[in-house]
Homo-oligomer: A and B are copies of this chain.
């Protein structure tokens, strides 16, 4: 197996990316392929005193930034890590591509170079979400791959999410719920009402709507919704988490009495931060492409890269892409599409 890693993706590239690769490579026999300016990457590897034989380096001289127009950048920068990476994936030179680079460029590159799995209407960005007071994590999709959705897309997100969760966590019958403004059947806009009906008629373990407030408490394994509201869900939760953690940090270090308290409670606060920190959840897969792509957060450091590589190996082992193709093209896969 070859795990391809974008050496230039994210705020701490290449240093932290290479560190994470070295840490993972020393624990696995799979090959990790770093893509980026080769001299720079070799230099980082030397700095990590890497002596093993399961890290390879592939040269790519360009980087697509978050500021560029994704589709345009993908067209122009043929020697960028993302375009080269997608091509390697397409040509079977790698089994999965991990990148902390521009989500838009990964999506555009994935659509143009890899294409969609036959039968899949739209790819989806899926993200793992922490749970409060409960074991496990929850998968939310679509987090913004398509800002316009149709009921069929959301239904397919349910299929893709179920296969992914089954493959990664071993949960054979994951619960799917639809993000909505109320828990009762019949709630929501036309899009969500129709998506509800498709999900209800399917073979999925669909258990109805879920309100945004309840997702964090882990009442479901998978939450499906359109990419617009999925993005709003993800980012508002992230904002609130950042805001509260920030307040705790500043308030608890204010004044001497409180400071003494803060120091004693510090280890606990770190634990809590960990619970609501998505970064070690192992990356967000872009599901529905003809190839496995794992997007990691732009601010990923070595630890997050390390976890993502492990998750990536599970991803490839589970043959998720193949299973999605089979599921959407089987007879019982649901309604005929409109395009």
Contact = CB atoms under 8 A, between A and B. Distances in A.
A186 to B, nearest CB: 10
A264 B268 contact: no
A190 to B, nearest CB: 7
Interface in A168-182: 179, 181
Interface string A247-281: 11011101001101111111111011001100000
A181 B147 contact: yes
A67 to B, nearest CB: 10
Given A132-B243, A229-B228, A244-B241, A264 B257 contact: yes
Given A239-B237, A258-B267, A188 B244 contact: no
A212 B190 contact: no
A72 interface: no
A246 B148 contact: no
A268 B252 contact: yes
A144 interface: yes
A212 B217 CA distance: 20
A214 interface: yes
A295 B115 CA distance: 49
A46 interface: no
A189 interface: yes
A182 to B, nearest CB: 9
Chain A, interface residues (CB within 8 Å), range: 35 or more
Interface string A203-227: 0000000011111110000000101
A198 B232 CA distance: 22
B251 A260 contact: no
Contacts of A263: 261
Given A239-B215, A239-B237, A258 B247 contact: no
A146 to B, nearest CB: 9
Given A133-B247, A216-B240, A268-B252, A189 B148 contact: yes
A147 B252 contact: no
A242 interface: yes
The 8 closest A-B pairs by CB, nearest first: A261-B264, A261-B265, A132-B243, A212-B235, A213-B239, A212-B236, A213-B235, A240-B240
Interface of A: 132-133, 144, 147-148, 179, 181, 187-190, 192, 211-217, 225, 227-229, 231-248, 250-252, 254, 257-258, 260-269, 271-272, 275-276
20 contacts: A132-B243, A132-B246, A144-B181, A147-B188, A181-B228, A189-B228, A212-B231, A212-B233, A212-B238, A213-B236, A216-B243, A233-B236, A240-B241, A251-B269, A252-B268, A258-B265, A261-B261, A261-B264, A261-B265, A262-B265
Given A132-B244, A236-B237, A252-B265, 13 more contacts: A133-B243, A147-B189, A181-B227, A181-B231, A212-B232, A212-B236, A228-B229, A237-B239, A247-B272, A248-B248, A248-B272, A258-B267, A262-B264
